Amino acid sequence: MDLISVVVPCYNEQEALPAFYKEITKTAAEMSYVKFEFVFIDDGSKDKTLSMLKYLHKKDERVRYISFSRNFGKEAGMLAGLEAAKGDYIAVMDADLQDPPSLLPKMYKLVKKDGYDCAGTRRTNREGEPPIRSFFARMFYKIINKMSDADIVDGARDYRLMSRQMVDAILSMKEYNRFSKGIFGWVGFKTKWLEYVNTQRVAGETKWSFWKLFKYSIEGIMAFSTTPLYISSIMGFIICLAAFIMACFYLIKTLVFGDPTAGFPSLVCIILFLGGIQLIGIGVVGMYLSKTYLETKRRPIYIIKETEEKK
């Protein structure tokens, strides 16, 4: 019998957890032809998430938990879960029931029988989301797909079921700045996308503010593309060319028509423009440098405080 590991990162999910546990065990009962383990990651929650997980573990030994020493973010949670998962097939799922567990039988069939390595999910609408947020999200996917060779699908959720082989490939990527939407795409493998209509979370609230998402998207671009670095070089080249043409133009003009000295405003504009471009360029280089700096420190991506095995 196959074992399916369900990895669930949880941060302050005390309101959603009971409903989630009820749903996932219902699906597990329906799929009596496989075994299950549920790997919950308590990402430094400040509410009763951990004690609830402990309670669930006592009640149901399929429930495992890993508790972090502080909040390390969802990426770290997913990584810890994937590393701990023992299953032949591994699913990643949110705790807020925005990822319906009822899709699991279909996903399992796709990967087990139909020759896919991964069954991923895409939401087809962005309802219940502020319009500006949707707009920026769409732009982000357009930009990152132009810049990067990893295929990053618009609207793809982190909810997916993967084969052991694919998970091992993901775990072989040891980078510190983990952008999993990119990592999932980068490792390749055959993915079947299931589409479903976005639903609201059952309880609690989203942990993503607009600013957090914005920072996350910049990190995604930097983790999976070096195009911004080229852009500043290309811009420098274009500006040099423009300056050369302008120099020729004014040289000829002065030689032919004489020199009524003028052009103070245009000079100021040019200097400011160039200063701005230079600062942007340095900023871009600096961002990559800072990422490299963090990467070379080789810090652990998460720190475990306790698990169901080690209390």
Interface with Mg ion by CB under 5 A: which residues? 94, 96, 98, 201
User: In what order do the strands lie in the sheet containing 191-196?
Assistant: 191-196, 118-123, 156-163, 89-92, 3-10, 35-42, 63-68, 304-307
The total of other beta-carbon atoms located within 10 Å of residue 161's CB is 31
Distance in angstroms (rounded) separating the CA atoms of residues 268 and 138:
37
Distance in angstroms (rounded) separating the CA atoms of residues 90 and 37:
10
Q: Which residue matches tokens 């810890």?
A: 80
Positions in 182-201 near ligand UDP (CB under 6 A)? 201
Least CB distance from residue 44 to ligand UDP, whole Å? 8
Positions in 90-119 near ligand UDP (CB under 6 A)? 94-96, 98
Residue 66 in tokens? 């890993």
Least CB distance from residue 14 to ligand UDP, whole Å? 10
Which residue's CB is nearer to Mg ion, number 72 or number 224?
Answer: 72
Least CB distance from residue 203 to Mg ion, whole Å? 11
Stretch that binds ligand UDP, among 9-17, 134-142, 179-187, 257-265 (CB under 6 A): 9-17
Q: Does 15 bind ligand UDP (CB under 6 A)?
A: no
Stretch that binds ligand UDP, among 89-97, 117-125, 138-146, 159-167 (CB under 6 A): 89-97
The strand pair at 89-92 and 156-163 is best described as antiparallel
The strand pair at 118-123 and 156-163 is best described as antiparallel
Q: Return the SS3 of 137.
A: helix
Which residue's CB is nearer to Mg ion, number 208 or number 214?
Answer: 208
The phi, psi pair for 196, rounded to 5°, reads -150, 160
- For residues 168 and 178, the answer to whether their CB atoms sit within 8 Å is no
Positions in 25-84 near ligand UDP (CB under 6 A)? 43, 71, 73-74, 77
Which residue's CB is nearer to ligand UDP, number 208 or number 250?
Answer: 208
Which residue's CB is nearer to ligand UDP, number 13 or number 117?
Answer: 13
Identify the residue among 33, 135, 193, 208 touching ligand UDP (CB under 6 A): 208
Residues in the chain, how many? 311
Pick one of ligand UDP, Mg ion, none as the site partner of residue 11 (Cβ within 5 to 8 A by kind). Answer: ligand UDP
Which residue's CB is nearer to ligand UDP, number 37 or number 96?
Answer: 96
- Please give the helix or strand (H or E) that residue 10 lies within, else none: strand 3-10
Number of residues that bind ligand UDP (CB under 6 A): 17
> What residue ranges bind ligand UDP (CB under 6 A)?
9-11, 13, 43, 71, 73-74, 77, 94-96, 98, 201, 206-208
